Structure 1
């Protein structure tokens, strides 16, 4: 079964004093690319968040946002960063002396520096203790994203199978027309030779030799056989579990290459038109596969 790379999910976890909300959004990307936004106090958990995502997903660009909210009435104790406060004070006095400025470094000036104070609960060293509840919220979001990506994958599967049928139909039309192309060429060549010979009989042996050369040059049996094999492999991947996007991209690349060869061998307008149609369908498949994990 296929999985899309597009999804959104939200999870939450609540303790006696806090509520953690995790929002996870994914879009298509060639590899696994993750951007994590955490509260400053929880920044040390970024690596653990990344490992959790790597354990669940193979491809996609993920945006992870974690919010931390206090619940109920809480007593809050502020912790003063004393070394930083003294550093601010010394720096202000030094600057005042060097520039010859008047005035005083007041308490109000120091209190305007919000980084001097942090609540006791917001100290970074407490982040690891909160990882279990953050992980619960993250897992809830990942489960929701996984479910949405699977639903999107079902729609992708239907679209891909429809386009594969169009490829087969178009390819069959090209292959069926190949013998008629050779016979049409034979008729045109014979008429041209008769005109050049001013009505004299055409050498049948020479005519058949020229027709045989064209038939060999325009033979597309190998190309159609390879495309058919790639189509079977593509269908098998759709039915299998696991991330198959890159493998599908490779198969489509090979099918496009075979279509180009068939187009180069085309010897009439109808076949050339069908080859253009075939390549267009393959391009539509490629666009859809870009969103398959």
Structure 2
């Protein structure tokens, strides 16, 4: 069954320690284009997260956003070297007193901003429980996105069925018109050359050979057979167990080639009307096939 590249999935978990949420949005792309936004404590897990997602969403532009919120923490996100701070402050205070400056507020600011007084604590999380929770949420969001894609693919499947049905009916009408077209061509040639043939001598065998060659050039039987085969193959590929968007794109190109050849070789107004309808339906198929995995 076909599967769309458009998808959406969201999942979250909450307990007394943290809230974790994951949101995935996917669009069409020729390959897997993975973009991740996550807290810094999980920055070293990007390759592992990519592996989790790509194992389910094999193609498309994938945007994953992970949010992690700790409910409470007794630790500061920075480390303050108090001894170094006091050293800076005493040094600045001693220098200020020598020049007659008694305002200590500026001295505090200078000391706290001095090098290595305040350093950022590493955001990387060593809590395996937190990471396992993140993995679970990511996989749940990924599975929901995949289900969304399947539902979208099912909708496209029925649309393709409708498009193929219109093209098949057009092909049936062309097959009904084909004998009439040949008769019209035969009558036109006979009428145009009747007077000329009566007044001039000619080789009837040679004329018959030329006439057969002319009809062979205008014959569309092979194109009708190939088009019918391509339509059946498209339907079979759609119904296969794996989604094959690229193959459907190639088959639709072949369908278009046969429809165009029928239109140009037939050179008949009645057939052209059906060809136009068939080409319109094919364009709908081509447009939607770009969104199939």
Relative to the length of structure 2, the TM-score reads 0.81
Residue of structure 1 equivalent to 2:276? 276
Provide the secondary structure at the position in 2 that maps to 1:243: coil
Cα distance in 2 for partners of 1:64, 1:256 equals 37
Stretches of structure 2 that go unaligned for 5 or more consecutive residues are: 89-103
C-alpha spacing 1:50/1:165, structure 2 compared with 1 (3 Å): same
- Structure 1's unaligned 5+ residue stretches are 90-103
CA distance in 1, matches of 2:158, 2:204: 53
Task: Write out per-residue CA displacement over residues 131-162 of structure 1, whole angstroms, 9 at most, x where no aligned residue.
Answer: 31111110110121112111111211110100
User: Do the aligned partners of 1:41 and 1:127 also contact (CA within 8 Å) in 2?
Assistant: no
Residue number in structure 1 paired with 2:36:
36
Structure 2 residue aligned with 1:69: 69
> How big is the alpha-carbon RMSD for the aligned residues of Structure 1 and Structure 2?
3.0
- Residue 77 of structure 1: SS of its match in structure 2? coil
Greater C-alpha Rg: 2
Alpha carbons of structure 1 residues 158 and 26: separation in structure 2 relative to 1, 3 Å: same
Distance 1:48 1:54, change over 3 A: same
Distance in 2 between residues matched to 1:50 and 1:106, nearest whole Å = 49
8 A contact 1:42–1:127 mirrored in 2:
no
**Distance 1:176-1:269 versus aligned 2 partners, 3 A rule:** same
Q: Retained in 2: the 8 A contact 1:14–1:133?
A: no
1:237 counterpart residue number: 237
Number of aligned residue pairs: give it: 271
Seen in structure 2, the aligned counterparts of structure 1 residues 246 and 133 have a Cα distance that, compared at 3 Å, is same
- Given the alignment of the two structures, is residue 266 of structure 1 paired with residue 266 of structure 2, yes or no? yes
Question: Is the 1:194–1:201 contact (alpha carbons within 8 Å) kept by the matching residues of 2?
Answer: no
TM-score by length of 1: 0.81
Q: Matches of 1:64 and 1:109 in 2, distance apart?
A: 42
Per-residue CA deviation, residues 170-206 of structure 1 (Å, 9 max, x unaligned), is 1222233222222111111111113445778998656
Q: Note closer, same or farther for the CA distance 1:281–1:109 as it changes in structure 2 (3 Å cut).
A: farther
In 1, the alpha carbon distance for the partners of 2:112 and 2:124 equals: 22
* Superposition pairs of residues 49-128 of structure 1, within 5 angstroms: 49-71=49-71, 73-80=72-79, 107-108=108-109, 116-118=118-120, 123-124=123-124, 126=126
Offset at 1:34?
1.2
Q: Does structure 1 retain, via aligned residues, the 8 Å contact 2:57–2:142?
A: no
